[in-house]
Amino acid sequence: MDAATLLRATEPFFTTKPKGQGTGLGLSMAQGFAEQSGGALSIRSEPGSGTIVSIWLPQADEAASDRPETPAPSPADAAADLDRKRHILVVDDNELVREVLIMSLEEAGFAAEGAEDASRALVYMDQQQAIDALITDFTMPGMTGLDLIREVRRRKPTLPTILLTGHVGDIATAPIDRAVGGRVIVLQKPVRTGELVDRLAAAIDEAAG
């Protein structure tokens, strides 16, 4: 990699691959895992010489076999813990993007489930009542994110909804709220985790109030 590419190599959604052949999330996820574990990731690369990616992780203080076994939570405790969390449905046809969003939401204290398209999302919603918000991609095969939101609003008219898209400029001036029968928060990809969590929490609190 040249210097400019190396500088952005771990940036989420940055890729030098053609459209449809890469998400730019591999190194970003690896770096996130390393840093969350108390370690680090480093990259050395020169055009024509190859690339070395190193992951540094902290050494465990004691052998796993020497650690006291943590008792598994009882079903009642687990159910109570789930009841304290807000349940979010994440819909995106890109598996890596979907998993990163779910991981980010769970780290922020939410309970998150994923669906790879609108039809599966509707089936999930029909089977599960405890859904506090919907996050959906705009461009998906079959039904778009807006189509999905229209259908969701028929089931849950006040459900907080966030629409993610890489083409905000193309739809920002459209009367989206009126088209789907309620307020929709539109965020541009790649979305920052902090912004997503803040907007999501505010929307849920507003709906609950």
pLDDT tens per residue, range 151-176: 988 888 889 999 888 765 544 434 45
More confident residue, 145 or 90: 90
For residue 160, say if its preceding peptide bond is cis, omega within 30 degrees of 0.
no
pLDDT tens-digit series, residues 125-134: 888 768 899 9
Nearest Cα to Cα of residue 154 among 175, 176, 125: 125
**Range scoring the smallest mean pLDDT among 27-31, 109-113, 114-118:** 27-31
Q: Which three-class secondary structure state does DSSP give residue 40?
A: strand
Determine contact, residues 134/161, Cβ cutoff 8 Å.
Answer: yes
Using alpha carbons only, how large is the chain's radius of gyration in Å?
Answer: 20
Which domains does the chain show, CATH number per domain?
A: 3-56 (no CATH), 85-208 (3.40.50.2300)
Confidence check: pLDDT of 78 > 60: no
Structure tokens at 73: 């939570």
Read off φ and ψ for residue 170, nearest 5 degrees.
Answer: -80, -20
- How far is it, in rounded angstroms, from Cα 1 to Cα 51? 7
Confidence check: pLDDT of 80 > 70: no
133 burial (CB, 10 Å; 0-12 / 13-18 / 19+) is: buried
> Model-level pTM?
0.60
Q: Which residues contact 44 (CB under 8 A, 6 or more apart)?
A: 51, 52, 54
Nearest Cα to Cα of residue 43 among 65, 27, 59: 27
